[in-house]
Every structure is written in C-alpha cells, then in structure tokens.
Amino acid sequence: MLQEGESLVRNASSAATELIREAIVNGRLVPGERLKEEELARELGISRTPVREALLVLQAEGLVDATPNRGAAVRAHDAVDLDDLYQLRALLEGYAARRAASRIALERIASLWASCDRFDTISDGDVRELVKENLLFHNTILEAAGSARAASMVRKVIELPLVYKSYIWYSPDQKRISAHYHRQITKALEAGDAERAELVMKEHVFEGRDILVAHVRELEARE
C-alpha cells in the first residue's frame, strides 16, 4: 500500500503532467523551449520530484525531448515529421469515421450538427475557440466509433500538430473550407455512408496538413 507521502507525490505528478501538457498544446510553452524543473516547480508550487516524473511521462508521449547535458525541452517537429503525423492521422481518423457511420447514435449526430453551427459563429481570429470546437467535433466521432484503441492512438498523433497552433495560419476562406468538411462528414455519418465518411475525413485532414506543413517549411527556409 502507498504511504501517504508517496500518494501525495503521485497526485502532484499527475496534476503537473496535466498542467504542463495543456501549456504545450495551447502553445504557452513553444516548440524548442527549455523546461527547467526548478522553474516549473516554483510556478506550480510543488517540489521538483513530481515535475521530474511529469516530464518523463510527457517524454514518453512525444511532447517533450530530453538530451544529455541540456535537459528537457518542448519537442519541435520539422515539416517532414508533421507530414508523417498527418498521414497517420488521416488513416486513423478515416478509419474512425468509417466505423462510426454504422454505430453513431442520433444524439451524437445532433451534437455534430450543433458543433457545425457553433464553428460557423466563431470569430476567425479566436484560435482558442476554433481549436476547442474542432477537437469536440473530432472527439465526438472518435467516441462514436467505439474503439478505445483508435481513440488513444489518434489523440497521441493529434496533440503534436496543435502545438504549432495551425489555426493561427487559417484564413477566413480556409476556416470556411474546414466548416464545409465538418458538414459533409456529418451528412455522410447521418446517412450511414461509411465509404464517404472515411473519404471526406481524410480529405479534411490533408487540407489541414497542407496549410501547416507549408508554413513550417517557410519558417525552416528562413532559418
């Protein structure tokens, strides 16, 4: 049985993991930024031990890199890495959409249509809300697919591109294209058309990939 002190450290480690992960995904901690245990511990109001454990967890998830003599840093991906991630995401989310088409309940279809409506009303520059609504839409389909394994794999792949805040680079036209894809996917799921749901989901993912990878390549060219 865990001693009380060990239990407190474990709880602090879990809380630190969630807080640091959120800061990375939201972009408050940017790719390449060093993660100093002492500073993080001070900011979180905890000791260094749970912070060290949290960084090990995030390293295993692929959000943090650790190198000898330099310590931990937010993992940075180049255009080739991101292209690979989006290829995987397209396969996984396409599979989830196909699977969801034969399983999705009417309540979830209604939730997807409501998400489409909310997405349309979000301001083009409100990155936080766009990302939040987009995640809700995609997570609803993952849940409807009924595969915990697929959902877990997708979430590991999807968090890394969000570190780059791809929605910052979305123009109003690109936001409308994304909204159009959401409605087409919902329509296919409502009709139970598994083949179309998979196809449109893959096209949607690749549209996002093209925008993100193009901008990362531009940044790489300037370095």
Determine the average pLDDT of the residues in 203-210: 93
- Segment 76-98, tens digit of pLDDT: 888 898 899 899 999 999 999 99
172-191 vs 106-121: helix crossing angle, rounded to 10:
170
Strands of the 71-74 sheet, one edge to the other: 34-35, 71-74, 64-67
Query: Domains of the chain: which residue ranges?
Result: 4-74, 79-222
Looking at per-residue pLDDT, the higher value among 10 and 103 belongs to 103
CATH level 2 (architecture), domain 4-74: Orthogonal Bundle (1.10)
Q: What is the reported pTM? A: 0.77
Residues 6+ apart with CB under 8 A from 185: 97, 112, 141, 197, 200, 201, 204
In percent, the amount of the chain with pLDDT more than 70 equals 90
Residue ranges in the chain assigned as alpha helix (H):
4-25, 37-44, 48-61, 79-101, 106-121, 127-145, 148-163, 172-191, 194-222
In percent, the amount of the chain with pLDDT more than 90 equals 53
CATH topology of domain 79-222: Four Helix Bundle (Hemerythrin (Met), subunit A) (1.20.120)
